[in-house]
Chain A
Amino acid sequence: KNEVEQSPQNLTAQEGEFITINCSYSVGISALHWLQQHPGGGIVSLFMLSSGKKKHGRLIATINIQEKHSSLHITASHPRDSAVYICAVRAGNQFYFGTGTSLTVIP
């Protein structure tokens, strides 16, 4: 069993839709990251969370430490949001990664 589970694995949405990606983890963490990876591209760190909620533009990330769960929301989705979104949790010196959610936003 992976330390970090993401859902859904694949997601297709129409432009403008509200999108939610979920992440559950089983280890004690000091922080949780949401990362974005474009096809063949590098990785961008979108958020680092240890509690509550953060917002950046159309992106919102929340975390519930008690339930060991985090969500990434994208409002008014756009085709340029198409990417793989990866949840990563930090436990001690290590990071554990989800396998990613592949998002495709159709115009």
Chain B
Amino acid sequence: NAGVMQNPRHLVRRRGQEARLRCSPMKGHSHVYWYRQLPEEGLKFMVYLQKENIIDESGMPKERFSAEFPKEGPSILRIQQVVRGDSAAYFCASSRYHAGNGARDYGYTFGSGTRLTVV
């Protein structure tokens, strides 16, 4: 039972290129969350998705960033026309249940992250 799988682990892009980060949730998990950790800063929520739906993207920059979680396949975080400020660690997490279930164990699990470096 593999955990949350993120790939690639490390990604180097030149300014202006596109970066695609993949996240395969744990088996049985239909909720995916993306977070960004800038150097020397804490984690920040970006987007919450269920299969084929974006539930909350309030933490995602309005331009150049997009996320999807198709019916089949991994969740993808796409950054177009990357800039140096996009260099960060991007973490994905998945869970079985929706937020607000209180004491229920929704099996929230993080991936190991993708470290994006823009040169």
Scan residues 25-77 of chain B and give those whose CB is less than 8 A from a CB of chain A: 33, 35, 41-45, 48, 55-56, 58-59
A94-B113 contact given A43-B91, A50-B102, CB 8 Å threshold: no
* Binary CB contact string for chain A from 13 to 43 against chain B (1 if under 8 A, 0 otherwise): 0000000000000000011010100000111
What's the least CB distance linking B34 to chain A, in Å?
11
Q: Interface of B with A (CB < 8 Å)?
A: 33, 35, 41-45, 48, 55-56, 58-59, 91, 99-103, 105-106, 108-113
Q: List 15 A-B contacts (CB under 8 A).
A: A30-B99, A42-B111, A42-B113, A43-B91, A43-B111, A48-B106, A50-B102, A86-B43, A90-B99, A93-B48, A95-B35, A95-B43, A96-B45, A99-B41, A99-B42
Contact, CB under 8 Å: B41 / A48: no
CA separation between A4 and B100, bound complex, in Å? 18
- In the complex, how many angstroms separate the beta carbon of B72 from the nearest chain A beta carbon? 24
Closest residue of chain B to A94 (Cβ to Cβ) is B45
- Count, chain A residues at interface, CB 8 A: 24
Q: List the interface of chain A (C-beta within 8 A of B).
A: 30-31, 33, 35, 41-45, 48, 50-51, 86, 88, 90, 92-100
Q: Main SS of chain A's interface residues?
A: strand
Chain A residues in 8 Å Cβ range of B99: 30, 90, 92-93
User: Considering only CB atoms, which chain A residue lies closest to B55 in the complex?
Assistant: A93
What residues on B are CB-neighbors of A43 within 8 Å? 43, 91, 110-113
3 A-B pairs closest in CB distance:
A42-B112, A93-B56, A43-B110
